[in-house]
Structure 1
Amino acid sequence: MPNPYRIAPPVGGTKAFVGRRDILDKVNEVVRSEHENALVLYGQRRMGKTSILQHVEAEFKKEGSNCYTIFFDLQRKETWSLKEFLQDLAKRVKEVLSEEIPPEVTDQPETQFSQWLAKLLNKLPGEKSLVFLLDEFDDSNPQTADEGATTFYSYLYQLLGMNRKRLNFIVAISRKVEDMSLNSLAFFRGIPFQQVVSLLSLAESTKLIRLSEEEPLTLRWPEPALNKVYQLANGHPLFTQSICFSVWEHLDKVRQNIATQGQGSPATVVAKHVEEVIPKVFEANKVSLQWLWNKLSQFERVVASALASVEKTQTLSELEALLTKEKAGLSVRKLEDALTLLKELDFIEGSSPEGYRFRVEIIRLWVNKTQSFSDLVHSLNPATSSLYEAGLKLFENGEQEDAIKTLEMAVKYAPNHIKANLLLAEILQDRKQWEVARNVLENLHKSRPVAARDPLVSLLWAWVTNENNPPKPRHWWTKMWWWVAPCRQNSLKKQKDLCDRIKELNDNHQEATQKLKEIDAICPRWRVFVENFYQTHLKPLYKQESFWQPLALIMVMVVTFYWFKDYNPTTPTILFEVEKDTTSPTTTYLAKGVVSDKPYILESVEISLPEKPAVTQVTFKYDIYNKEVAISKRPAGTYEVSKGDLQQALGKNDLKFQFPPANGNFLFSFQFEKDLEKGQTVFNECKALSASKENIDCGKPKGKGYLSYFRGIPWYAIATVLYFIAFGVIRVFFIFKKSSSPDTTTKRRPGPF
């Protein structure tokens, strides 16, 4: 099924020709007029002027028309002589009016052709007339135009008055009459009727876009997709046709599948389909777009590219600020002149107070993509261009060090110079100076994202491939670190960061996607989350005093509770402290009862000693009594001292066996054959029995040390004192840190040295 849209050939006389009713009415008015017999159609190239002439030709060929039309293409005929013009024109007349024979053009072509044409017009039947449809003669270089073109236009001016009733001229040109060269100005100024050929209206564009909805129905265009086309083309006939043509081809497979099934509705276009074909539209119309661009002067290109670099409408002051920032060196007068010329060429629309913008959005997109604003600005500055050219030459000669220095100077003077930045990054990449090269392209990407994106992606991926995977850990502590935080390994983390940046720039980068999957296999996402949470939320707290103060309080409370709780028992407990008796000639250890949860009236205390080394003697000293009571080993292998034993040994029948004692000791003395082994305790187990038959645990003894000084003091009291000490230390540390760090808010006074 053929594509209903057309790009290359003009569409006059086909159903793809829509609108232009006002122009066709003007043509009919001129042809019917007895006083005026010429009309000039002017407008931007590819705006549809040739299609209009072809459509006029097709309409006048219909039965009942009183006009014979002669379509004559004047393009690329600047160098023809008048004789060649008239011979070719006569042949075209013969093709339409076959009964006439073209004259033999001699050395007097004007006279002979005029006589022949006058006779021909007089022989036309009834109200018939002859209409010359002259397609544009683009006199692009009027200063050097051939004399034949000048003579031809002068001769046409004479023909205007030959027979106004039977001879008519419809002429299409690509510029306004006042902008034509002196060679042709006389002819065009003799034509009072002038009609601009511009953009299609929304209604006309809608009819053109929906050609595929006519029989046979091939594509549906809902309002969002239709509006997207109009937003891009703004009624430009060429780009409207080109977008629709590309979308139709883009969805051709879908349409064919539906047709093959023999059921269902045709494919429906969505706005995304329209956006996807924009590169194809650029490619299909690159010649026409470049031709339009080449018609602009250097200053006009700079201003146009400045407008194209920003999506929104820009006022005169905003444009001036942008050009000043880029050091374009354009005065306000030059800027205003360039804007006026761009408006006259139908590139832009708007005014100074309201702002300016491109008339056709897709042209703006093409300019923004292909015409570097930075390079155009810098082309106005020969110094920057000279530095770039010098750097390029040094690079080609293999002098990379000098090339880098030269290009850095160019970038310093013109930070957004695309070619200089790209070449500098390329050289740095060759030298594997990855970080520096990336900084160059990242800075360029901020102002020129389109130009910098692909080179930046290429650089980052080359960097990824240059990074080697980290070696597997060998030691237990490195293995633990690898398991806890594998993504913190330098090389792997760098690769992940680079791939993440690549995906930000180009979400469809397949190699980066695959690499991230490989990294995810080593570094699960939950670990990434934990590490990111640490880096984002916890690590910054380290630098804040408000973080360390409550942390110090928590740590002090935990430490004091853990270390000092045994020195302040809360359960039935008698705590013993052990130390070696250094004054005794034998190996003697002393175990002294020091604290309990509450006072107790005891019945007995039973102690289990280690089997090795052998115990030679065990004694017990109680209260104010200096006599040491010898304790014998019981059949169960334990040593026990009871209230009865003390009363008998000390001769005090009324003695109270209590802990803590009223005024003296509660001291066991153990004599061994040799020293205890390192880590070995004096007694394995100790149990006390109160007079009320309550079991009291003595536990394992504590070694006597500096913590002994804190026994009897509640742990929370110790924690309070330690917290105030820690608070003062932290406060002093941050005061010192703040005073020693450089003050970035104030500048140092210049001194004599």
Structure 2
Amino acid sequence: MPPTASPLARPPDPVDGLPPPQRPSRPPNPYILTPLTEGVGFFGRESVLQFVRNTLSSPFQNVVVLFGQRRIGKTSLLYQLMRPGSTPPGFRPVYFDLQGRAEHRLEQVLYGLAREIARALGIDVPPREAFHEESYFQYVFLPRAYAVLGDERLLVLVDEFDVLGGEEVTSEAAYHVLFNYLQDLLIDEQRHLTFAFVVGRRIDELPSRIKATFKSAQCKLISVLDRASAVQLITQPSRGVVTFDDTAVETLLDLTAGHPYFLQLLCYGLFERATRAGRPAITVADIDDDVLTTAMELGMGGLSWFWDEFPPAERFILAAMAHIIDTDPRQTATLRQIGDTLREHGVRLQGMELSTAPEVLAEWEIIERAGRDTYRFRVDFLRRWILTKHSLEQAKRELEQVSERAVVLFESARRMHRRGELNLAIMEYRRALAANPNHARAQLGVAQALYESNRLEPAADAFERAYRLDPESARDGLIAAQRDLGTQLENEGRFDRARPHFQRVLDINAADQGARVHLRDSWRATAGAHLANGRWDKAIEAYREALRYMPDDEYLIQAVATLEQRHVEAEALQRRRQQIERAVLEARLKDEQGRRETLEASFRRALVTVFGAGAGAIAGTALAVAAATGSLGHPLWATAAGIGLAVLYGAYAWAARKAP
């Protein structure tokens, strides 16, 4: 028989009429990953709130603009302005979100705004049809609202105002007329109506129409939290349940630089782990890679939205910096390093983009200066996320989605390409590239369509551009185009023009044996042409070039050895000829020297006989000088000597007649 269980091992029976005991529930997580609409979890920002109060206290100032990067807490700040104690005295706040209204017509936007105002004031919402008449909002609806407000002013808190400035809007969208409408409204309704606009871009990056609306506005940057507020955000929500030791707090500040959204993500994950494990304290050891990964997963949507804010040049700068810095948050990246890294990955930025994008990111508090042309990440958590989710290769792929127009044109080109309409496909691919020059697949499509049309030279150029954008995808096509173009030129006998194309194949794939064969044969043919024309030195050079590609080719080795031997023999023969010519020349010089010496001696004797020893000595000296200077055989010397002898003879005859 199997052993029976002991009665002591059985769980106790529940008390009659009472439910079984329940496991104690964990406390709710107090860290909030969405905008703070109820005021709970809101810390700091007193300087911004005071700025709004001070600015709107003037009866002549009715526009405030608050701007900052995404997820910095702009929406939470607007909701905080709606809470008693934060709302400027004498104002009635109304929150109005423009998110999702980029395509709306003006009448739709005005109806939406009127609906929010009516709800806030407790008045009836006007019928939608009434707003077909543009003047209804200002001249009918607003006076009704003012009557309810009495002495108060209406404060409209407009969120995501800059979404109306998107690149693709219909001709009927409010974008085309709303800003002029608001400018007039702000002037006409100055005593009763005020606006606080929130935008997610720098003011100087906004479209001119939006900036015109803000020309009389007071602007304020919403930055990261100050240290005291950031410490409160970390420690206050979990008080009484979980505590953070000082080193954990410092580590969180180092990781986030006080960015509220990133702090909420990390603290949310740390609180979950601590309460699951039943631990009352969080230490620096708890802030490990697993917590960082969890925080990145929790914030996947918000972080992606944050990333989408940046234009392509700034994404590449951030991805390159994350690649360079890699593991050490204290490390820096110079502009030269960033440029070199981008070039290594086939990314080409204009010089202006490379110099201005880091400055913009520094002003936006994403990175910070660490010296001349040197930068580091301000928020290390962001660096780690970019390194994990947005490598340089990933950033290049994302570029294809920057322009919706380019995406549509690319898909149209692909359909044409599949149908075999190559010329139309090429035109459509190029239109896609005009909309987005960094669309790698459109560039590859152009190259492939040109290649299939047997337009090899433009195809090779197009593949080169595609290779710079996406080396892996364009590699095989570029090799094929360069090889075929080289073969075509080679068949036409244009070896000098063919060789660079085969060399390009080897640059991409050093193991390509076919390219090596082509280059060997090309240089061998060139060597043969030089031999036929008797240019042995040029032939040797060509054979040596051929040997670079096929070092073990016996024919080339023998040809070079033979020509080098002939060259040695020819040089020896040349040296012998030069020696013989030198010996003949020396013999002639020796004979000439003897003839001159004989002539000089005869002349001296003649002079001594005619004039005596003194004149002979003088003449001899002159002859010596002439001989030394090499002018004795010159015609002028002979003439001078004849004239001199005639003069001397005349002087001698005159002296003889005068003698007694």
Query: TM-score normalised by the shorter chain: which range applies?
Result: 0.5 to 0.7
The two structures have a TM-score, normalised by structure 1, of: 0.47
How far apart, in 1, do the equivalents of 2:253 and 2:509 lie?
38
Instruction: Note the residue ranges of structure 1 that are not aligned, 5 or more in a row.
Output: 259-265, 395-408, 416-749
Structure 1: how far apart are the matches of 2:78 and 2:206? 20
* Paired residue secondary structure (1:251): helix
Q: Give the aligned partner of residue 430 of structure 2.
A: none
Moved more, 230-239 or 104-113: 104-113
**Where does residue 183 of structure 2 map in the other structure?**
157
Per-residue CA deviation, residues 421-448 of structure 1 (Å, 9 max, x unaligned), is xxxxxxxxxxxxxxxxxxxxxxxxxxxx
Question: Partner letter of residue 306 of structure 2?
Answer: L
Indicate how the Cα distance of structure 1 residues 384 and 283 shifts in structure 2: closer, same or farther if over 3 A, else same.
same
CA distance in 2, matches of 1:275, 1:179: 36
Distance of 1:292 and 1:94 partners within structure 2: 33
- Identify which of 237, 241, 263 aligns with 2:260: 237
Distance 1:331-1:163 versus aligned 2 partners, 3 A rule: closer
Matching residue's letter, 1:164: Q
Structure 1 pair 104/212, CA: closer, same or farther in 2 (3 Å)?
closer
Percent of aligned pairs sharing the same letter: 25
Q: Judging changes above 3 Å, is the alpha-carbon distance between structure 1 residues 152 and 226 closer, same or farther for their aligned structure 2 residues?
A: same
In structure 1, C-alpha distance between the alignment counterparts of 2:92 and 2:164, rounded to whole Å: 28
Q: Which residue of 1 aligns with 2:156?
A: 132
Aligned to 1:358: 377
1:2 positional shift: 1.5
* Residue matched to 1:208: 233
* Structure 2 equivalent of residue 73 of structure 1: 97
Compute the displacement of 1:151 (Å): 2.1
Structure 2 counterpart of 1:252, from 261, 268, 275: 275
Is this contact kept in 2: 1:90–1:103, CA < 8 A?
A: no
Q: Tell me by how many angstroms 1:112 deviates.
A: 1.6
Provide the C-alpha distance between the structure 2 equivalents of 1:412 and 1:221, rounded to a whole number of angstroms.
57
Distance change (3 Å), C-alpha of 1:274 and 1:237: farther
**Per-residue deviation, 1:352:** 5.7
Correspondence for 2:301: 287
Counterparts of 1:122 and 1:22 in 2: how far apart (Å)? Answer: 30
Q: What's the offset of the Cα at 1:250?
A: 1.4
Q: Which amino acid aligns with 1:293?
A: W
Distance 2:135 2:345 in 1: 61
**Of 221, 231, 241, the match for 1:196:** 221
* Counterpart Cα distance in 1 of 2:271 and 2:115: 40
Q: Structure 1 residues 141, 361: closer, same or farther in 2, change over 3 A?
A: same
Q: Following the alignment from structure 1 to structure 2, what is the Cα–Cα distance between the partners of residues 317 and 393?
A: 32
Q: 1:134–1:171: 8 Å Cα contact kept in structure 2? A: yes
Match of 1:267 among 265, 268, 281: 281
Shift of residue 344, structure 1, vs aligned partner: 4.4
Given residue 314 of structure 2, which amino acid in structure 1 is its aligned partner? E
Contact preservation (8 Å) 2:49, 2:86: no
Describe the shift of the 1:337–1:351 C-alpha distance in structure 2 as closer, same or farther (beyond 3 A).
Answer: farther
- 3-state SS of 1:70 partner: strand
Check 1:252–1:327 CA distance in 2 against 1; reply closer, same or farther (3 A cut): same
Cα distance per residue 1:465-493 (max 9 Å; x no partner) = xxxxxxxxxxxxxxxxxxxxxxxxxxxxx
Distance verdict in 2 for CA 1:414–1:84, change over 3 Å: farther
Residue 78 of structure 2 is aligned to residue 53 of structure 1:
yes
- Asked whether the 8 Å contact 1:60–1:66 carries over to 2, the reply is no
1:184 and 2:217 matched: no
Match in the other structure for 1:170: 196
**Higher fraction of strand:** 1
Does the 8 Å CA contact 1:131/1:170 hold for their aligned counterparts?
Answer: yes
> What's the counterpart of residue 141 of structure 1?
166
- 1:371 counterpart = 2:371: no
For 1:268 and 1:121, how far apart are their aligned partners in 2?
52
Matched, 1:315 2:334: yes
CA distance in 2, matches of 1:388, 1:45: 34
268-277 vs 157-166, which deviates more? 268-277
Is 1:82 aligned to 2:106, yes or no?
yes
Residues 1:117 and 1:231: Cα distance change in structure 2 (over 3 Å):
same
Q: Could you tell me which residue of structure 2 aligns to residue 21 of structure 1?
A: 46
Query: Which residue among 241, 245, 269 is the counterpart of 1:218?
Result: 241
Are the equivalent residues in 2 in contact too, given 1:12–1:51 (CA < 8 A)?
Answer: yes
Write the distance in 2 (CA, Å) between the matches of 1:110 and 1:60: 36
Deviations 1:553-600 (A, max 9, x none): xxxxxxxxxxxxxxxxxxxxxxxxxxxxxxxxxxxxxxxxxxxxxxxx
* Contact 1:121 1:166 (C-alpha < 8 Å) held by counterparts: no
Counterpart of 1:285, as a letter, is G
Matched, 1:36 2:61: yes
SS in 1 for 2:258: coil
1:520-599 equivalence runs, <5 A? none
Residues 276, 162 of structure 1: alpha-carbon distance in 2 compared, 3 angstrom cutoff = same
- After superposition, the Cα gap between the structure-2 partners of 1:207 and 1:383, relative to the gap in structure 1 and judged at 3 Å, is same
Q: C-alpha distance in 2, partners of 1:227/1:411?
A: 54
The 3 A distance-change label for structure 1 pair 104 and 314 is closer
Deviations 1:34-90, CA, capped at 9 Å, x for gaps = 11011011111111000000010123698x953211111101101112221222222
Following TM superposition, by how much is the alpha carbon of 1:102 offset from its aligned partner in structure 2, in angstroms?
3.0
Partners in 1 of 2:166 and 2:115 — Cα distance? 28
Q: Deviations over 1:343-374 (max 9, x none)?
A: 34443221661621222111111111122235
SS at match of 2:84: helix
The answer to whether the 8 A contact 1:134-1:172 is kept is yes
2:82 alignment partner, SS class: helix
C-alpha spacing 1:327/1:149, structure 2 compared with 1 (3 Å): closer
In structure 2, what is the Cα distance between the partners aligned to 1:330 and 1:183?
28
3-state SS of 1:227 partner: helix
Match of 1:299 among 313, 318, 329: 313
CA–CA separation in structure 2 for the residues paired with 1:6 and 1:325: 41
2:140 corresponds in structure 1 to 116
Instruction: Provide the residue aligned with 2:357 in structure 1.
Output: 338
Supply the distance in 2 between the matched residues of 1:125 and 1:328 (Cα, whole angstroms): 58
Deviation at 1:333, TM superposition (A): 3.7
Per the TM alignment, residue 239 of structure 1 is displaced from its structure 2 partner at its CA by: 0.6
Which of 263, 268, 276 is the aligned partner of 2:290? 276
Is the contact made by 1:209 and 1:244 (CA closer than 8 Å) also made in structure 2? yes
Deviation at 1:227, TM superposition (A): 1.0
Report how far residue 165 of structure 1 moved.
3.3
What SS does structure 2 have at the residue aligned with 1:194?
strand
Q: Write the distance in 1 (CA, Å) between the matches of 2:185 and 2:509.
A: 58
Q: Secondary structure at the match of 1:123?
A: helix
Residues of 2 paired with 1:412 and 1:281: CA distance? 44
Report matched runs for 1:422-461 at 5 Å.
none
Q: Give the TM-score normalised by the residue count of structure 2.
A: 0.54
Residue number in structure 1 paired with 2:411:
none
Quote the offset at 1:271 in angstroms: 3.9
Gaps of 5+ in 2: 1-26, 398-437, 441-464, 479-503, 511-559, 566-660
Q: What root-mean-square deviation, in Å, do the aligned CA atoms of Structure 1 and Structure 2 show?
A: 3.4
Deviations 1:522-569 (A, max 9, x none): xxxxxxxxxxxxxxxxxxxxxxxxxxxxxxxxxxxxxxxxxxxxxxxx
Distance 1:377 1:163 in 2: 48
Matches within 5 A, 1:634-713: none
- The Cα shift of 1:12 comes to 4.2
Distance 1:392 1:271, change over 3 A: farther
